[in-house]
Amino acid sequence: MSEKNVIPKNETVLSVSDLVVRFEGGGRQSKKKIVRAVDGVSFEIVRGEILALVGESGCGKSTIAMAVMRLLKPTSGQIISGGVNLATIHGRALQRARQRIQMIFQDPFGSLDPRQTVMEAVSEPLLIHKVGDSAGERKEMVFEALRMAQLNPPERLSENFPHELSGGQRQRVAIASAMILSPELVVADEPVSMLDVSARAGILRLMMDLRDRLGVSYLFITHDLATAWVVADRIAVVYLGRIVETGPSEVLVKNPAHPYTQALLNASQDGDATISAAAMVLKGEAPSAAAVPTGCRFHPRCPKYVELGKPESCRSEDPRLRVIKKGEITRRDHSAACHFTDEVK
Ligand SMILES: Nc1ncnc2c1ncn2[C@@H]1O[C@H](COP(=O)(O)OP(=O)(O)O)[C@@H](O)[C@H]1O
Ligand code: SF4
Ligand SMILES: [Mg+2]
């Protein structure tokens, strides 16, 4: 794990365009429902950048993560990283690409094998990717990774089993094992949502610190807009498989343009920063990716739609993401997918 001299280079580490992931849902053969889990998503991440995907449960966040990790094969779209399209490669090319992109999962209890020591867990990526010339060298690399994840003293901690560690320590082990191959990008799927509140801030700080020191980029997934704001440079708000608003974190949180983002924000300012609270603020049925509404997919729950007297365009025309305020560079544009964005400023 080498400390790179971090100079922001604007070098794109991940570029996703028009990503679509569909699942065949339950039901009899003749009535099989198509679940449109990810329905045309595009974004990019540059070196050292943290992009947060925010949205309520079921909106497709984990499916995007799984596609980027190529733990599932997307229905269509491109996932470009390191000059290859991850959506279509396989075999050794995919294996090589996987060395550059690592994942941290939500559940620090489920993601570690209870029979493996910390040493075994963290050295596993080295063995899989044949890194390190000897057992001794690999051991040193594990110690260094544990130190980097602030698991001290590493010599003692490396002998522990998962059940001997706290939730926060386990997530640090997961981070050490994700970082040991010096990845360019780490996909973190709700990395703190199962931890005690007391452990959360430390894990977030560690992840941000590693970004500063190593120049690693994150695709940071959360259902919590407040967490996204703390951690991310840019935020993309996801609703039913689509990005409905995106922009620099401070712009999006201070001046949300999409009625869905506004509702999320109101919910978090009510004292409860979770999106499940927003679901109560937002009237109407919980969305289903198996029955995406016509026109604007948010219209059945949109307060603005009602306020405006239920305009026909909301029911018939699917709003595309469009720039509402130019950023200093294209990537930092503030964009929203609402026909009436100007009015909802
Ligand atoms: N393997 C699968 N088969 C069928 N439907 C799935 C599968 N995985 C996810 N889904 C559905 O896709 C949608 C998005 O799920 P997911 O990506 O897990 O959302 P999130 O992570 O935002 O909670 C949901 O409607 C979910 O039920
Ligand atoms: S397009 Fe209409 S329904 Fe959709 S977010 Fe805008 S106002 Fe609401
Ligand atoms: Mg998920």
The CATH number for 70's domain is: 3.40.50.300
Which pLDDT score, from 0 to 100, does residue 285 have? 59
φ, ψ (nearest 5 deg) of residue 235: -125, 140
| pTM of the shown model | 0.93
Which pLDDT score, from 0 to 100, does residue 33 have? 87
- For residues 258-297, one letter each, b for 16 or more C-beta atoms within 10 angstroms of the residue's C-beta and e for the rest, the string is bbbbbbbbebbeeeebbbebbbeebeeeebebeebbebbb
Ligand closest to Cα of 338 equals 2
Pocket test for ligand 1, best of 21, 34, 35 (most atoms within 8 A of CB): 35
Task: Report residues whose beta carbon is within 6 angstroms of any ligand 2 atom.
Answer: 259, 296, 298-299, 302, 304-305, 314, 319, 338-340
Whether 4 is in a domain gets the answer no
**Minimum-distance ligand 2 atom for the alpha carbon of 314:** 2
Query: Cβ(25) to ligand 1 under 6 A?
Result: yes
Whether 146 is in a domain gets the answer yes
Whether 181 is in a domain gets the answer yes
Which pLDDT score, from 0 to 100, does residue 344 have? 40
Whether 115 is in a domain gets the answer yes
Whether 273 is in a domain gets the answer no
**Minimum-distance ligand 2 atom for the alpha carbon of 308:** 7
Provide DSSP, 227-240.
HHHHH-SEEEEEET
Q: Considering only the C-alpha atoms of the chain, give the largest distance between any 2 of them, rounded to a whole number of Å.
A: 70
Pocket test for ligand 2, best of 239, 260, 261, 296 (most atoms within 8 A of CB): 296
Residue 148 and residue 301: Cα distance in Å, rounded?
45
Whether 287 is in a domain gets the answer no
**Minimum-distance ligand 1 atom for the alpha carbon of 290:** 25
Beta carbons of 276 and 260 less than 8 angstroms apart: no
Residue 54 and residue 245: Cα distance in Å, rounded?
10
Alpha helices for the chain (secondary structure H):
61-68, 91-100, 118-128, 135-148, 154-157, 167-179, 197-214, 225-231, 249-254, 259-269, 275-281, 303-307, 312-316
Amino acid at 256: P
Query: Cβ(61) to ligand 1 under 6 A?
Result: yes
Map tokens 């990503």 to a residue: 19
Which pLDDT score, from 0 to 100, does residue 2 have? 47
Range of the domain at 237: 13-249
Whether 286 is in a domain gets the answer no
In this structure, the strands spanning 334-336 and 185-189 are unpaired
Whether 266 is in a domain gets the answer no
Which pLDDT score, from 0 to 100, does residue 241 have? 97
Name the closest-CA residue to atom 4, ligand 2.
296
Ligand closest to Cα of 59 equals 1
Which pLDDT score, from 0 to 100, does residue 27 have? 65
Distance 171 CA to ligand 3 centre (A): 17
Which pLDDT score, from 0 to 100, does residue 270 have? 57
Q: Is 90 exposed, middle or buried (0-12, 13-18, 19+ CB in 10 A)?
A: exposed
Both tokens of residue 120?
Answer: 């075994």
| 11 Cβ contact partners less than 8 Å away, ≥ 6 residues apart | 46, 47
Q: For the chain, what is the domain count?
A: 1
pLDDT in tens, the chain (345 residues): 544 444 456 899 999 999 999 999 766 666 778 999 999 999 999 999 999 999 999 999 999 999 999 999 999 999 999 999 999 999 999 999 989 999 999 987 788 899 999 999 999 999 999 999 999 999 999 999 999 999 999 999 999 999 999 999 999 999 999 999 999 999 999 999 999 999 999 999 999 999 999 999 999 999 999 999 999 999 999 999 999 999 999 999 999 999 999 998 887 765 554 544 444 556 555 689 999 999 999 999 999 999 999 999 999 999 999 999 999 888 899 999 999 987 444
| 22 Cβ contact partners less than 8 Å away, ≥ 6 residues apart | 34, 35, 36, 37, 75
φ, ψ (nearest 5 deg) of residue 16: -105, 130
Name the closest-CA residue to atom 3, ligand 2.
299
Which pLDDT score, from 0 to 100, does residue 284 have? 55
User: Cα 265–51–104 angle (5° rounding)?
Assistant: 105
First to last CA, the chain: 46
φ, ψ (nearest 5 deg) of residue 131: -105, 140
